[in-house]
Amino acid sequence: MAARHAIQGFTLSEQRINKLSGYSHPAGPKVALMVPNLRKILKPIHYTADESYRSTYIELTRKLESLECSYPLMGLSVKYLVTEHLRSDAENVDDPPDHVVIALQIKKDGALLFDPFMPFSKSDKKNTPLGKMGLTTISASKLLDEYWSKAIFGPWMFWLERLPDQGNDLRNYIQ
């Protein structure tokens, strides 16, 4: 969103994200720290970070349609990795975490996702032109009913949003 709103000098390096999330090896990030810490650093540039643990399809599509929101991140059950990426090894992990993708478009007939796991997929999808860019398509009903709603944290999503009444909206930056 920084590039879309012409925010100069705002970047989040991996090191900075690790610090914001209280990341330590091998424990990983302390997820509960991420949103409050992001809010603190985004507030001066008139943005906020938010998440929802009981999200709905309507809320998800509103975020996707809003020019003031980032593309939402979605938590998907481990079944997504097993079924879509043919990674049966994902089920062998004790308490496997949800898999996170970025929703780019969701319509009744299908969804377009950015999936950072695509290069590690055992599915033929990774060799398609979309797959080589980390993109995948999936049935919207399968995504929402089988993977999103059955994730550990339920239908979870995370997004960044521009705070209201902060001057020009995103439409002024898109040509």
Q: What are the residue ranges spanned by the domains of the chain?
A: 14-172
Q: What's the pTM?
A: 0.80
- In this prediction, residue 62 carries a pLDDT of 95
Which ranges of the chain would DSSP assign to H, the alpha helix?
Answer: 14-20, 31-42, 57-65, 78-84, 129-132, 140-141
**pLDDT surpasses 70 at 101:** yes
**pLDDT surpasses 80 at 170:** no
**pLDDT surpasses 50 at 31:** yes
d(CA 111, CA 94): 29
Q: Is 72 exposed, middle or buried (0-12, 13-18, 19+ CB in 10 A)?
A: buried
Of residues 148 and 11, more confidence is placed in: 148
Amino acid at 127: N
Confidence of residue 175 (pLDDT cuts 50, 70, 90): very low
Picking from 11-15, 46-50, 79-83, 116-120, which range would have the lowest pLDDT averaged per residue?
11-15
pLDDT digits (tens, 9 = 90+) for 118-162: 888 888 888 888 888 999 999 999 999 999 999 988 899 999 999
Query: Regarding the domain delimited by 14-172, which CATH topology (the fold level of the hierarchy) does it fall under?
Result: Cathepsin B; Chain A (3.90.70)
Confidence of residue 65 (pLDDT cuts 50, 70, 90): very high
